[in-house]
Structure 1
């Protein structure tokens, strides 16, 4: 099993330092892209009063700036955009990037930004039903020939074209740990993603995922298992914790020296996780880049 990595981006630049969003990437990628082939952008409008970039506009820009990298959101909130428009935007980016777009989507969860931007925030059950409609619409518009109609419980399309069809069809990722969301992943997705999870939490969800695969007649090996979250590595554990900050600990991230992080990641790999989307704390610190590219990533690959 080959272990692969993607680079998760911060939601925006540090306050008052707009140039750093791209500047830090330009500094870091020449070392990281030896091990990472994908860039991932979170889909948020606000994070308190911190600068925050919109996801699809950002990844379209990144696809042009870094033509050797694949790009994707991690994950789109389905309620933020009409699902047919989401399908059309994805098809367009797939065409213009020469096949480098990955679609990742979830039910949506961040109440404050829904309300701040004037979106209705229905119950979790309704948002999952909306996600099901969205996945139906996206996959039909991408795959079905000619015009497409669909009458879902929450979203509908009528005689809709999506031309040109994306070629190849983008990899589809469904993110989330709810029981019904995971069942949708089994039905629709190429990859399943669970963010910010320690191994105990992740492994509990794998049991549920495999049960859904059995019930729906899908080979569980055909659904790629992926992880998204923070990694904070330091020469010492104290330095790693400083990079991580108070929010990120070994409960919800990988934090520690190189050897500690390798130990933390090992059970995920043993459980079949072969793709990690890392938001790297402390970039573009040269110590962080050196530890990752000289000690962590090569050993995980081997």
Structure 2
């Protein structure tokens, strides 16, 4: 199994106790830590624990907007690209309609060259209504947002592969000859012959069964959806059916999911960390803390290293190949990260 790590950027009230002037240094230190952190002794050769570092593409905090900082995703992508050497970089996930696809393709391609070919392109239809309206995007229907995702992915893919959008006359986007130089440094196979062309891996996020997973079957190298055992199995079956329908090899798509992690050496340490998260949320989002706390306490990856390994092994048997993890306390305390790196990841790589 492969592992990614969410870097706290403020969106989930995870930098509130860091002074604004120190927040960039905190984020950068965690990216550097992830890039250089070897896995435990159980891994032959001491491979690195983390393959990738991730941020969210949001402008306001969740579960409610506030004046706490939320650092912008693509600005962070460029900064991380220039400040790192090895770790891959992604967003889970970019909202298609927040930026025109021609512009986004150009930004992503530029950052791919800055990074030396380490960018992942997480993309989705978007959902945070308050944020949409606050920034002047309105809030289109789900069908319109999904149309933007479908058409936008086609435009970006064309620009990366050929250097130009060509002429595209869609219902949502109409473009003609938008250029994309530099092209991405990464090369991906296309077509039955598997010839490689410049491109960036597409992670199409969301579990919508009629539209989103069909778009993924047509265009994605990765998907990202429900991480519960039953939900993951069901969504995988829907994706496989769409792949058969569009003539795509289901095995070409890597399935991923996101997990909140609460880990301790024993039950007492797990309970202590959960209590800290509860106190943190009651201070940060008192009006909506109950639901958030319930979600945390009921998470699949809450437990000792042995329990978490067993649950991830079970998910692996269902086809999960990539887990992207989030630690609420990472900006203040990396002991949970270290425990996960030393006693969970080596058992699954």
Is this a same-fold pair by TM over 0.5?
A: yes
Alignment length, in residue pairs? Answer: 298
Matched residue of 2:37: which SS?
helix
Question: Is 1:66 aligned to 2:84, yes or no?
Answer: yes
Aligned to 1:185: 216
Over residues 107-151 of structure 1, what are the superposed CA-to-partner deviations in whole Å (9 max), with x where a residue is unaligned? 001001001111121111111011011011101111125561111
Answer yes or no: is the 8 Å Cα contact 2:78–2:114 preserved in 1: no
| Paired residues of 1:174 and 1:189 also in contact (CA < 8 A) | yes
Distance 2:165 2:24 in 1: 40
TM-score scaled by structure 2?
0.80
> What whole-Å deviation, never above 9, does each CA across 1:42-83 have from its counterpart, x for those lacking one?
000001213201100011111112222211111000111011
Q: CA deviation at 1:16?
A: 5.2
The answer as to 2:86 corresponding to 1:45 is no
Partner of 2:156 in structure 1? 138
What is the TM-score of this pair, normalised by structure 1?
Answer: 0.92
Please state if 1:296 is matched with 2:327: no
Does structure 2 retain, via aligned residues, the 8 Å contact 1:232–1:282? no
In structure 2, C-alpha distance between the alignment counterparts of 1:295 and 1:60, rounded to whole Å: 32
**1:234-273 equivalent positions in 2, closer than 5 A:** 234-235=264-265, 236=267, 237-242=270-275, 244-245=277-278, 246=293, 248-249=295-296, 251-273=298-320
Instruction: Rate the CA distance shift 1:144–1:24 in 2: closer, same or farther, 3 A.
Output: closer
* Range with bigger deviation, 25-34 or 35-44: 25-34
SS of aligned partner of 1:273? coil
Deviations 1:73-105 (A, max 9, x none): 110001110111011101111112110111110
Question: What are the residue-to-residue correspondences of 1:57-136 with 2, within 5 Å?
Answer: 57-136=75-154
- The one-character-per-residue Cα deviations of 1:202-244 (angstroms, maximum 9, x if unpaired) are 1111111111111112111111111123111122231342355
Distance 1:75 1:22 in 2: 23
- Name stretches of at least 5 consecutive residues in structure 2 with no aligned partner: 40-47, 187-198, 279-292
Match of 1:26 among 29, 37, 54: 29
Partner of 2:171: 153
> Take 1:186 and 1:4, find their aligned partners in 2: how far apart are those partners?
21
SS at match of 2:172: coil
Q: How far apart are the structure 2 equivalents of 1:66 and 1:147?
A: 30
Equivalent residue number for residue 216 of structure 1: 246
**Offset at 1:271?**
1.3
Whole-angstrom distance in 1 between the partners of 2:98 and 2:223: 21
Structure 2 CA distance for partners of 1:82 and 1:240, relative to 1, 3 Å: same
Pick the structure with greater CA Rg: 2
Aligned to 2:333: 285
Q: Cα distance 1:151–1:85, how it changes in 2: closer, same or farther (>3 A)? A: same
Asked whether the 8 Å contact 1:232–1:244 carries over to 2, the reply is no
Which runs of 5 or more structure 1 residues have no equivalent in the other structure?
none
Q: Which stretch shifts more, 40-49 or 140-149?
A: 140-149
Q: Using the alignment, how far apart are the partners of 2:231 and 2:337 within structure 1?
A: 28
Q: Root-mean-square deviation (CA), in Å?
A: 2.0
The 3 A distance-change label for structure 1 pair 281 and 136 is same
SS of residue matched to 1:67 = coil
TM-superposed deviation, 1:287: 3.0
CA distance in 2, matches of 1:239, 1:259: 18
Runs of 4 or more off by more than 4 Å in structure 1? 250-253
